[in-house]
Amino acid sequence: MKKYNLDYFEKTNWTFVLIKNGKIIYRSKKERLLPLLFCLKNNPGRLKNAVVFDKIVGRAAALLMIYGKIKSVMTPTISRSAVKELEKHKIKVEYKTITGKIMNKAGDDLCPMEKLSKNKKPGEFARIMMEK
């Protein structure tokens, strides 16, 4: 079984990778929450007990991962609120940098998905996102 780790994925151009039983079962170069939502909409069972690599994890992504029942997440950058949510649900978190908040592309405001996820529970946020 090949050992995947954060350093390995940082050297690729993938933004999202789903690993189950030591094998990559899905990978994407799409940005934002698109790969995670694709997995939740098309085969939510694949996320259960899986390991996820995601380039950036904010609270919005964390709530979707919790909803999908992942086992652990690896990310170069994560927000404090995402760490708090994931650890509260006993999901292992490996990261390099922790930040106060995830900003929008322009860097002048909070990411819209972070705003939308504020004060939401995982199931509630997942339902909102899957209706889009």
Tokens matching residue 114 = 């972070």
- Do residues 53 and 76 lie in contact, with contact meaning Cβ atoms separated by under 8 Å? no
Residue 33's pLDDT band (cuts 50, 70, 90):
very high
In which band, very low, low, confident or very high, does the pLDDT at 1 lie, cut at 50, 70 and 90? very low
What is the average per-residue pLDDT within 41-50? 91
What's the pTM?
0.93
Tokens 């106060």 label which residue?
100
Two tokens, residue 107: 């860097």
Q: What is the pLDDT of residues 52-81, one digit of tens each?
A: 999 999 999 999 999 999 999 999 999 999
Q: Which domains, ranges and CATH numbers included, belong to the chain? A: 6-131 (3.40.140.30)
Average per-residue pLDDT for the chain: 93
pLDDT at 8: 85
C-alpha angle 90/94/96, rounded to 5°? 145
Q: Is the pLDDT of residue 16 over 70?
A: yes
